A and B are shown apart, each in its own frame.
Chain A
Amino acid sequence: DTGVSQDPRHKITKRGQNVTFRCDPISEHNRLYWYRQTLGQGPEFLTYFQNEAQLEKSRLLSDRFSAERPKGSFSTLEIQRTEQGDSAMYLCASSLDGTRDEQYFGPGTRLTVT
């Protein structure tokens, strides 16, 4: 069990560019979650998947944000036309299934929009 991994760990981009982050959950974990954490704040929920189905999206997830989990394994989070307010740590977590409550977090991707 190698834990949740995220790539890249750091991303610096210019305003207006598109960025994509990847999350690989723990093997056999069916649920995958995305959170966003800004400096000095707690993580905020963005969206989550049960296998390949996206079950819930936060209103924080504007139309510039899209997340996929095409084969029910890894997930990608894309931000289009980035804005400075998108600068944050993007955290991914996974859990075994909907009956288990423990979410395991990855190290995060830190996005800086200049």
Chain B
Amino acid sequence: AQSVTQLGSHVSVSEGALVLLRCNYSSSVPPYLFWYVQYPNQGLQLLLKYTTGATLVKGINGFEAEFKKSETSFHLTKPSAHMSDAAEYFCAVSKAAGNKLTFGGGTRVLVKP
């Protein structure tokens, strides 16, 4: 079975500072990896995904993530936080295209002015 662990349920960053959200996964097959963002009372929006190919993936809103197979990690970063980045972020894994997603518990990001 697949699983996802997100370290830190809450992260507080200052505006303009680096955002780093950690995600580790377990999978018996090469995984498909995703980061989603959820704003209050809204559904999930895809930030970026890794399927195959380049291990550094760029997404929307200046976010990027790097797939590290040896560390079974897919950490999300953004060089400079903006107030609009305050939201909850979910890492997810699936074992094939079109399959169900297994999500981590989420990390809520607070951005301080």
Q: Given the known A-B contacts A43-B90, A101-B94, are A91 and B43 also in contact in the complex, defined by CB atoms under 8 Å?
A: yes
Residues of chain B contacted by A102 (CB below 8 angstroms)? 46, 49
Asked whether A97 lies within 8 Å of B103 as measured between CB atoms, the reply is: no
Q: Which of B22-78 contact A (CB under 8 A)?
A: 32, 34, 36, 41-46, 49, 51
Which of B94, B97, B98, B106 is close to A42, meaning CB atoms less than 8 Å apart?
B106
- Is A25 in the interface zone, CB < 8 Å from B? no
Q: How far, in Å, is A107 (CB) from chain B's closest CB?
A: 5
A31 contacts across to B, CB distance below 8 A:
98
CB contacts (< 8 Å) of A45 on chain B: these are 100-102
A21 close to B (CB within 8 Å):
no
Report A33-69 residues with CB < 8 Å from chain B CB.
33, 35, 40-45, 48, 56, 58
Per the CB 8 Å criterion, the residue count for chain A at the interface is: 28
Q: Which residues of A contact B90 (CB under 8 A)?
A: 42-43
Give the B-binding residues of A (Cβ under 8 A).
4, 31, 33, 35, 40-45, 48, 56, 58, 91, 93, 95, 97-108
Nearest 6 A/B pairs, CB to CB: A42-B103, A98-B98, A105-B43, A45-B100, A105-B44, A101-B97
Pick 30 A–B contacts, CB within 8 A, sort by A. Answer: A4-B43, A31-B98, A33-B100, A33-B101, A35-B101, A40-B105, A40-B106, A41-B106, A42-B4, A42-B92, A42-B104, A42-B106, A43-B90, A45-B102, A91-B43, A95-B98, A99-B98, A100-B97, A101-B34, A101-B51, A101-B97, A101-B98, A102-B49, A103-B46, A104-B46, A105-B43, A105-B45, A106-B43, A107-B42, A108-B43
